Chain A
Amino acid sequence: MSKTFTKAADPIIQVLRPVSPLAWFPLGLVLFSSVKLVDGSGRTAFGASDAAALFTIAVCAMWPTVMNTAVGVRAIPQDYLNVAKVLKLSRSKTLFKVLIPATLPYMFTGFRLSLGIAWLVIVAVEMLTGRPGVGGFLWQEYNAGSYSRIILCILTIGVVGLVLDRLMSVVEQRFKTA
């Protein structure tokens, strides 16, 4: 919507976007070093490494959504905006009645890409944290030398990724606008 904002934000996005998840992870550890939730038996339920893992996933996965939404907003036909202008819709009404519905298909494309990346990053981050999970399991099996399980893991990750994508497309159909 605002050219100045696009010009200002785009370089920042383009610099942050290609940064590897493995590079974000240590920063997450530093930032959330004080996070510690303890469960009943005194074990750490949610520690710094979990917070860092979430941070990494979020930072890596948000870019497709951000960029697709920006493209979607730019692609709104002038006609729709003219309708909003002629009717003198307020800013919030224009946002909810025109901008968001018109951008939703783009946003969902972004969501699907983001979901794929999130799933990709989860495995990598779990290997780093060593917490129980599919990534941790993979690494453990490598160390144990049971290669057939590694293949099984890869297949499982792939199938789960596919299922997640399908689920997202179901949600997308549900919210179909244009």
Chain B
Amino acid sequence: MSFLEVSSVSKGYGPAWQRTNVLHDINLSIDEGEFVAIIGYSGSGKTTLVSLLAGLIKPDTGTVKLEGKEMREPGPDRGIVFQNYSLLPWLTVYENVALAVDQVFPQWSAEERRKHTEKYIRMVHLEPAMKKVPSELSGGMRQRVSVARTLAINPRILLLDEPLSALDALTRATLQDEIGRIWQEDRKTVVLITNDPDEALLLADRVIPLTTGPQATLLASIPVTIERPREHRTLLECCDFKRLRNEIIDQLVASKKKPTAAVMRKLVLPDIQPEDISLTTARALDGARRKARRPHELQPVRVEIEV
């Protein structure tokens, strides 16, 4: 049995008559210590998928199981790094991390918690900024705080929801290497949601393309056979990289071309304009030449319409 098991999960939004099924029949199983990247176009339901894995929203059908236990609500065993950092702006870097640490390890002494917090801030190289609030930090630094906060609670599984897509290309490359380094150190189970094939290939053991929504689903996973540790420079020269990259992109492009079945159950009104209507029994109206002006002058007229 695998570590994280997602079976036939689907999720839709909106009221019944115009429901959009964002995700349809998602099946996924991840082993412990595996780094899986899920890649898809923006708007294909990636964030919905990660919210399902985190338990922030409930699936319409199917189950999400962690170690055989069904997950119904969010919890600190699944750490999420959000796309937009989600740091509390009124707390300093230290306080942001400490809030999580204090909450998850209440049984520790204050000293232990402080050391633990500082260890993770050091891990992302932010000791000099410890006393700063998020608005004084750059985007890359904020995301590092968010990573530190998530790692500090020691989650069983780490969910990264497009953690780097709001950053500039240079910072992104640095942070990709950093995430790779941190993962090398403690080999946590990671699910990385991304829209960048290079990022996926640099970090993941397995890349799973997500088709374009609505009714997005996961395609067959592509194992990444490139040797670790991987680096940006050496990666480009590796011929496996080009092949895998093309494979991912081909799959994604192909999934986009596929005509998606109509998923909107809209109430469709017959498209009839007044000029489409012709009276078959025009003579029937001859008697009613005078226009009715008062309610009591109105008379019922039965008209049959051919469309």
Interface residues, chain A, with chain B CB atoms under 8 Å away = 79-80, 82-83, 85-89, 93, 97-98, 101-102, 104, 177-178
Interface of B is mostly: loop
Q: A101-B88, A177-B90, A178-B90 are in contact. Are A82 and B103 (CB under 8 A)?
A: no
- Taking CB atoms, residues of chain B closer than 8 Å to A85 are 56, 73-74
How far does the alpha carbon of A90 sit from the alpha carbon of B56 in the complex, in Å?
Answer: 16
Q: How far is the CB of A36 from chain B (nearest CB, A)?
A: 46
Q: How many A-B residue pairs lie within 8 Å, measured between CB atoms?
A: 47
List B contacts of A178 (CB < 8 A): 89-90
* Given A79-B82, A79-B84: A88 touches B103 (CB 8 Å cut-off): yes
Task: Find chain B residues with CB under 8 A from A87 CB.
Answer: 76, 99-100, 103-104, 153
| Pairs across A and B, CB under 8 Å, 9 listed | A82-B82, A83-B86, A85-B56, A86-B79, A87-B76, A97-B99, A104-B90, A177-B89, A178-B90
- The count of residues in chain B whose C-beta lies closer than 8 Å to any C-beta of chain A is 20
What is the interface of chain B, defined by CB distance below 8 A to chain A? 54, 56, 73-76, 78-80, 82, 84, 86, 88-90, 99-100, 103-104, 153
Say whether A86 contacts B74, CB under 8 Å: yes
Q: Which residue of B lies closest to A176 (CB)?
A: B90
A66 to B58, CA, bound (A): 33
In the bound complex, CA of A121 to CA of B276 (Å)? 66
Question: A residues within 8 A CB of B103?
Answer: 87-89, 93
A89 to B99, CA, bound (A): 10
User: Contacts A85-B74, A87-B99: A98 and B88 contacting too (C-beta < 8 A)?
Assistant: yes
- In whole angstroms, how far apart are the Cα atoms of A79 and B153 in the complex? 18
